Structure 1
Amino acid sequence: MIPYGRQDITQADIDAVVSVLQSDFLTQGPMVPKFEAQVAKHVGATYALAMNSATSALHVACKALGLGPGDWLWTSPITFVASANCGLYCGAQVDFVDIDPNTYNLCPQALARKLEQAERDGTLPKVVVPVHLCGQPCDMKAIQALARRYGFSIIEDASHAIGGRYQGGFIGNGRYSDITVFSFHPVKIITTAEGGMALTNKAELAEKMALLRSHGITRDPAQMTHESDGPWYYQQIDLGFNYRMTELQAALGISQLERLDHYVAYRHQSARRYDELLASLPVVTPWQHPDSYSGLHLYVIRLELDCLRVSQRQVFDSLREQGIGVNLHYIPVHTQPYYQCMGFRMGDFPESERYYREAISLPMYQTMTELQQDAVVNALHKALRL
């Protein structure tokens, strides 16, 4: 089976993890701060907070921005459920904004129309979470302009996008948002096994997220409400969580980070080759915005079903049967049973639902060979029954 994505673990990665196993610290040692500093420097952010998952980072980001009961969080329907669930964790209400048919990201024009109506209804969002699907950045300049007009905060869900760039700057630099979140899951561009990170340029947000990821506990006298009892002393000053990253994960991340630029460049090389090999087939290949450089976590095609005698399910099943580990990213969140119970219905976000009926994620990872790519394309030819 050729998987749709997989990690690349080298001997250097293994050695880095083993060195931590042989050290004095498996958690809360020097590796996590080092990893944070290196990622922040790489992307051009001021602060970076490593956590045990991107979901944890999204949750903490929402809490740091003060999201709570009575508030609204808006995001894209085409994303993993965590992009929306983070709002529910805070007691907020969640809504969605339909996608752009070219980028598959949250559409700024649809956002503008929805904001106009929400202003009339008194239901403006407190937080908007644009998702950089497949690694392609959203139109953050347009979204930030709307944020300034309507007063909402922005969390960039860049789980797919580390190593990508927008308007010349690395995604994560915080130029157009309050907080950016990365994922280091094994199928992502670099991995820490499980793990995530929140980045910001605002000291107060960094301080709040650091507190929330570790039980709301501080040892900083400046944050304490009364005088310390001694060197052992700590205070819980907020209700936080155990969202810390381990030293082993951070060591793996530091080692992987050295290859980040190479990984993303290789993915672009593979994507260009896919574009050429698929040019004659009745599929839509990913469009890349000229102002952007995608992280290319995923390579999603859309089937031109009007030109085919087979269904999306038949194509998907045929590829799997031929040993091609395709997937589908993602099921629109508003169609999930949990969200349907909140009142969302099929037809609410037609562009997202159309995307879902046509999309298939082809294998894309940094060690994929040309022979494997050829096997994917040959299998797709058979699956389409041309």
Structure 2
Amino acid sequence: DADQPEYWRDRRVTLGAWWKAGEKRLGSRELGTHTRRLDELTPSPLPNLIFCLVILCLRPARTAAMLSSRTKHCLHCCLLFTLIAAFEVCTGGVRLWGDGPAASLDPWLAYGFAGTILLYLLRYLAFLSLPQVLFNFVGLTIYNAFPDAVPLKGSPLLAPFICIRVVTRGDYPQLVRANVRRNLETCEKVGLENFMIEVVTDKRVGLGPMKPPQQRRLRETVVPPTYRPKSGAMFKARALQYCLEPGINELADSDWVVHLDEETLLTENSVRGILNFVLDGKHHFGQGLITYANEEVVNWVTTLADSFRVADDMGKLRLQFNMFHKPLFSWKGSFVVTQVSVYSYLV
């Protein structure tokens, strides 16, 4: 920014660089409405570290932008380890100050045989979630939780045809039209050429009118209320099954389908990730990360509850797909990338 001091405009340094070079910066530098005289810094690292923490507190947004993705991930891991350690100490899992009077308690005498068995069974139930907890922990630590921008590994012109399929009941047509328009613009910004956006709905939503180059990339498929698939699928699966019926399906076996919900918005990084996945061609199914509360928050309670789904994506699902290439525990029903040939064979 033009109104920012020279130091902020000309230098992008890490926290470690601030620490080491603190004694070399002389004179005054304005940090927003706060001023510090840097010539008061001594060669000792402690005052410089304190100064760095002050910067982190005063300018969190700018500081976050200056930190590298690896530094952010290291700070994230430190916070995770700190929370786990604090939880163990506070709940008595790790006793730093002796065992206390409960260590001499004999449960067989205090609660009887039936009571002791019941209490131990309740405690052992917690181990049922241990595999998923371990996968979440490993996935959140060994993979970078703050990745950089996704680079394209090939030309979008050489990518196979991609159908972005949005499934909706059609109760909110204005929302569907707005999100389709935004997703279409995002794909065009990335340079995606061989694609279309298909809306599969129970009620007609009316995607047009748009400019002719954009209108030809849109398709609206209305599922008849009388349609009953042979598999007995219902709801969303019923709509997806209808798209594969002869006379309805217009995709070739080499094409790809990206399944989205009506409220899901694509980002440029996600489109690049999809392109890299289909250009690579090693796997027939892919799963993407979905984040929440990226725009206006309507209900903070449900938004915070959804944050667990993001952690599940970045931990357990990321590990099982990247390392084992199998859905060992689960996978989501949205942001699934599928090749048509395998998709049709399975259903």
More helix by share: 2
Same fold (TM over 0.5): no
- Considering only CA atoms, is the larger Rg found in Structure 1 or Structure 2? 2
Shorter-chain TM-score tier: under 0.3
Task: Name the structure, 1 or 2, with higher relative contact order (CA <8 Å, separation 6+).
Answer: 1
TM, length-normalised to structure 2? 0.24
